[in-house]
Chains A and B, each alone.
Chain A
């Protein structure tokens, strides 16, 4: 082989590794959302633990809220759940959106794994999920005190994701709210 040609595979490989390193910082599950900086959609759904209690968009207003889309059929949600419990212990207000689930299964789930939600709304038919453009569970929306969606995360939140993507924005919004 030619003296320089033999170095070609190495050169190509090094170029590729650069791209792979850059690619590792990208998350394929971050989807650009048309809803960021838009109002959280209107809804009127019953509370998961109380079928007589209707919950609407108004109840999101006034506080900075995480809206977490979860379901008992969702394996990744159970991975995420512990983190939500921790966040709730730290005083983060989390509202659950129980997505296309059975009420009994969902209640049992919360009983077993703990309930980090101030309340969960029950979206059995997935109507609100549709309005939100939910891609799959878990998915989390950061909503400010005016009910505007400020950030959207598809996939599990863990300590690192919280630190890198949510924490600063959340703190900012808290200040903004006061």
Chain B
């Protein structure tokens, strides 16, 4: 298919998005039903056209059509087919097209599954999504068109995809992350529609809650895929760098996490209404801000896209218009919806408030840290950047407090809870966790090698065990000790339980892998062996291996554990032919208890190489935990009660519809 067809499809989608932004909104004010209904078909039409454009771009990549600038810059005839496809979203222009496609997908999903909402409301939601789509499509067409041709002179060969991106992680990570990023526009659209209509009650929370949860799940999985990718692909064994681009996705996640919790209180008790609205607006604003930071080149980062101030200005104006208008609307409309606070003393509301305050505070500290280089530059305080120590200093204690409070989540009741009861429930799990926190690091302390009791590990074990035991105690008490009773538990409850256990697992992975991580950088000759804790690493030398699109120096390291089991690991140093970049491919032997992580450094004199050997205990728990968090979110989003109510309401609206006709 030709790139022009794709270009045309984007223009068609742009026209549809314009009508989608205008017609249903006008219809909702003048009460014109068919105008309101039009939003649904426009949203689906937009999805079809953007899908077509996307397929066109894929086919242009597969055909190696280097007359298209984007293809010439990001692909190459030597590139394997699956990477040609994933190269479509490997750089700015194509990833933006994916972004708009996903946005259209979310709008299409709303169009299909909004039958249980009042028509004025769903029409406004779709109109707002149409407006956002309009902005991104204008951005795409005017500053970042992936279909632009290099005519009349086009290169015979492309420049190749950045080798860092030639990887499975990159096939999956951006689409997942964008599902979450873009997904935050759905709660945003719900919030704005509520502000316009002035209707903001438990029903609103019930409609939006599955959507809020689902988009949050995608963001969770997207971020953890990104961190997993960084871990095995960047080759030095780190999994989180507090890089501006990572923070750009982490801030909306923290804000959405707060939103997921506050909307629960809004649904069940009708409280925190303005607050929930504000969180929905802020999550989306932070997503937009993230897009701005990544794509404008205002901050330097290892994975920011093309540095182009013109693009930055466009997104910034869009950001100012969208966010400025929503916050203005919020300021004008939200006082009309007075809160009815009925909770006293300690209650589930209090716990959720604590959760929200902590999450918003951590977002704020990350926000300041991420933008600090910019602030200091603008205010001429010199060029300063803020690194991991700053972020850890604020973020870690906040998370510890969060997890301590989280332990009580299941035991608190709406309205009011007896503090003494909470203390009684916490006593046994608290003591048990304390015991574990004392004992385990003490056992792991190896006095011969001079290591001492690790407080990081102790604290980590305490909070993780605390969350786990409190959750188990809650399940036990709620089921009165019988499995049969657990069948009555709702999807939301299981979702909460699993997500909280996931958080405990994740924290355990983070804390233990950073306290007991062993790392050596060595100069090794073939035949050299070294013993690190219980493992013996033997370096077998390096061979040259030729591949289709790269030449690799492949090292062989055999690792023998205490029991005599031997594993062979093959770390590589790759030279990519087309671009000439050098990549470090680490070799990892993964297991639940520990990862063995081996990477090749530089060749030294003779046959010696610099080799980095690492043992990372429990590092897998980080991603295992994230997957559990995501799974919990999904369970909650697909709780039966949302579907049940939907059916009932569908029935009503059908009858209503008949009456109208």
Give the residues from 576 to 631 in chain B that come closer than 8 angstroms, CB to CB, to chain A: 579-582
Main SS class of interface, B: helix
Chain B, residue nearest A12 (CB): B327
Residue of A9, A14, A19, A75 touching B278 (CB-CB under 8 A)? A9
Q: Which A residues lie within 8 Å of B297 (CB)?
A: 27-28
Q: Which A residues lie within 8 Å of B581 (CB)?
A: 73, 75
Cβ A1 vs Cβ B334 within 8 A: yes
Cα of A9 to Cα of B331 in the assembled complex, Å:
8
Residue of B159, B278, B374, B582 touching A23 (CB-CB under 8 A)? B374
Residue of A1, A20, A29, A105 touching B316 (CB-CB under 8 A)? A20
Cβ B298 vs Cβ A28 within 8 A: yes
Tell me if B530 counts as interface (CB < 8 A to partner A).
no
Cβ B324 vs Cβ A72 within 8 A: no
Cβ B300 vs Cβ A22 within 8 A: no
Give the residues from 1 to 47 in chain A that come closer than 8 angstroms, CB to CB, to chain B: 1, 3, 6-7, 9-10, 13-14, 17, 19-29, 31-32
Cβ A10 vs Cβ B331 within 8 A: yes
Cβ B375 vs Cβ A19 within 8 A: yes
Chain A, residue nearest B155 (CB): A112
Chain B, residue nearest A105 (CB): B580
Cα of A13 to Cα of B377 in the assembled complex, Å:
19
Cβ B374 vs Cβ A73 within 8 A: no
Give the residues from 254 to 312 in chain B that come closer than 8 angstroms, CB to CB, to chain A: 274, 278, 281-282, 285, 292, 296-300, 307, 309, 312
Q: Which A residues lie within 8 Å of B282 (CB)?
A: 9
Cα of A105 to Cα of B551 in the assembled complex, Å:
15
Q: Which B residues lie within 8 Å of A88 (CB)?
A: none
Q: How far is the CB of A107 from chain B (nearest CB, A)?
A: 13
Tell me if A85 counts as interface (CB < 8 A to partner B).
no
Q: Which A residues lie within 8 Å of B419 (CB)?
A: none
Chain B, residue nearest A102 (CB): B580
Cα of A1 to Cα of B337 in the assembled complex, Å:
9
Cβ B579 vs Cβ A75 within 8 A: yes
With A31-B383, A75-B162 as given contacts, are A6 and B374 in contact (CB-CB < 8 Å)? Answer: no
Tell me if A155 counts as interface (CB < 8 A to partner B).
yes
Cβ A20 vs Cβ B298 within 8 A: yes
Q: How many residues of A contact B (CB 8 A)?
A: 29
Cβ A29 vs Cβ B300 within 8 A: yes
Q: How far is the CB of B287 from chain A (nearest CB, A)?
A: 14
Q: Which B residues lie within 8 Å of A28 (CB)?
A: 297-300, 373, 377, 383
Q: Which B residues lie within 8 Å of A72 (CB)?
A: 580
Q: How many residues of B contact A (CB 8 A)?
A: 40
Cβ B328 vs Cβ A10 within 8 A: yes
Q: Which A residues lie within 8 Å of B300 (CB)?
A: 28-29
Q: How far is the CB of A20 from chain B (nearest CB, A)?
A: 6
Cβ A20 vs Cβ B335 within 8 A: no
Residue of B320, B335, B373 touching A3 (CB-CB under 8 A)? B335
Tell me if B313 counts as interface (CB < 8 A to partner A).
yes
Cα of A24 to Cα of B296 in the assembled complex, Å:
8
Cα of A2 to Cα of B314 in the assembled complex, Å:
34
Chain B, residue nearest A73 (CB): B580
Cα of A22 to Cα of B159 in the assembled complex, Å:
34
Q: Which B residues lie within 8 Å of A27 (CB)?
A: 297
Chain A, residue nearest B298 (CB): A23
Chain A, residue nearest B297 (CB): A28
Chain A, residue nearest B274 (CB): A1
Q: How far is the CB of B335 from chain A (nearest CB, A)?
A: 6
Residue of B159, B278, B320, B377 touching A78 (CB-CB under 8 A)? B159
Residue of A1, A10, A21, A75 touching B335 (CB-CB under 8 A)? A1
Q: How far is the CB of A155 from chain B (nearest CB, A)?
A: 7
Q: How far is the CB of A102 from chain B (nearest CB, A)?
A: 9
Q: Which B residues lie within 8 Å of A10 (CB)?
A: 324, 327-328, 330-331
Cα of A13 to Cα of B335 in the assembled complex, Å:
19
Q: Which A residues lie within 8 Å of B159 (CB)?
A: 75, 78
Q: Which A residues lie within 8 Å of B307 (CB)?
A: 29, 155-156
Q: Which B residues lie within 8 Å of A17 (CB)?
A: 316, 319-320, 324
Cα of A72 to Cα of B224 in the assembled complex, Å:
34
Chain A, residue nearest B300 (CB): A28
Cα of A10 to Cα of B634 in the assembled complex, Å:
33
Cα of A73 to Cα of B577 in the assembled complex, Å:
10
Cβ A24 vs Cβ B328 within 8 A: no
Cβ B377 vs Cβ A23 within 8 A: yes
Cβ B331 vs Cβ A19 within 8 A: no
Chain A, residue nearest B582 (CB): A73
Q: Which A residues lie within 8 Å of B309 (CB)?
A: 24-25
Tell me if B378 counts as interface (CB < 8 A to partner A).
yes
Tell me if B323 counts as interface (CB < 8 A to partner A).
yes
Residue of B298, B331, B373 touching A7 (CB-CB under 8 A)? B331
Give the residues from 57 to 99 in chain A that come closer than 8 angstroms, CB to CB, to chain B: 72-73, 75, 78
Q: How far is the CB of A167 from chain B (nearest CB, A)?
A: 18
Residue of B298, B323, B330, B373 touching A24 (CB-CB under 8 A)? B298
Q: How far is the CB of A130 from chain B (nearest CB, A)?
A: 17
Q: Which A residues lie within 8 Å of B582 (CB)?
A: 73
Cα of A24 to Cα of B297 in the assembled complex, Å:
8
Chain B, residue nearest A17 (CB): B320
Q: How far is the CB of B274 from chain A (nearest CB, A)?
A: 5
Q: Which A residues lie within 8 Å of B374 (CB)?
A: 19-20, 23, 26
Cβ A21 vs Cβ B316 within 8 A: yes
Q: Which of A10, A21, A22, A75 has the most CB of B within 10 A?
A: A10
Cα of A9 to Cα of B324 in the assembled complex, Å:
9
Q: Which A residues lie within 8 Å of B330 (CB)?
A: 6, 9-10
Q: Which A residues lie within 8 Å of B313 (CB)?
A: 24
Cα of A86 to Cα of B585 in the assembled complex, Å:
39
Q: How far is the CB of A61 from chain B (nearest CB, A)?
A: 33
Residue of A1, A3, A26, A73 touching B377 (CB-CB under 8 A)? A26
Cα of A78 to Cα of B316 in the assembled complex, Å:
29
Residue of A14, A20, A21, A22 touching B324 (CB-CB under 8 A)? A14
Q: Which B residues lie within 8 Å of A3 (CB)?
A: 335
Cα of A26 to Cα of B300 in the assembled complex, Å:
12
Cβ A32 vs Cβ B324 within 8 A: no
Q: How far is the CB of A168 from chain B (nearest CB, A)?
A: 19
Cβ B383 vs Cβ A32 within 8 A: yes
Cα of A21 to Cα of B324 in the assembled complex, Å:
14
Cα of A3 to Cα of B338 in the assembled complex, Å:
11
Cβ A6 vs Cβ B312 within 8 A: no
Q: Which A residues lie within 8 Å of B378 (CB)?
A: 19, 22-23, 26
With A20-B298, A24-B312, A72-B580 as given contacts, are A9 and B377 in contact (CB-CB < 8 Å)? Answer: no
Q: Which B residues lie within 8 Å of A6 (CB)?
A: 274, 330-331, 334-335
Q: Which A residues lie within 8 Å of B162 (CB)?
A: 75
Chain B, residue nearest A155 (CB): B307
Q: How far is the CB of B316 from chain A (nearest CB, A)?
A: 6
Chain A, residue nearest B379 (CB): A19
Interface residues of chain A, those whose CB is within 8 Å of chain B, are 1, 3, 6-7, 9-10, 13-14, 17, 19-29, 31-32, 72-73, 75, 78, 105, 155-156
24 contacts between A and B (CB under 8 A): A1-B335, A6-B331, A9-B281, A10-B327, A10-B328, A10-B330, A10-B331, A19-B375, A20-B319, A20-B374, A24-B298, A24-B309, A24-B312, A25-B309, A26-B378, A28-B297, A28-B299, A28-B300, A28-B373, A28-B377, A72-B580, A73-B580, A73-B582, A75-B162
A-B interface, 9 closest residue pairs, ranked by CB to CB distance from nearest: A73-B580, A10-B327, A6-B331, A23-B374, A28-B300, A7-B331, A22-B378, A26-B377, A17-B320
**Apart from A13-B327, A17-B320, 12 more pairs, CB < 8 Å:** A3-B335, A6-B334, A7-B331, A10-B327, A20-B319, A22-B378, A23-B374, A24-B313, A25-B309, A28-B297, A29-B307, A78-B159
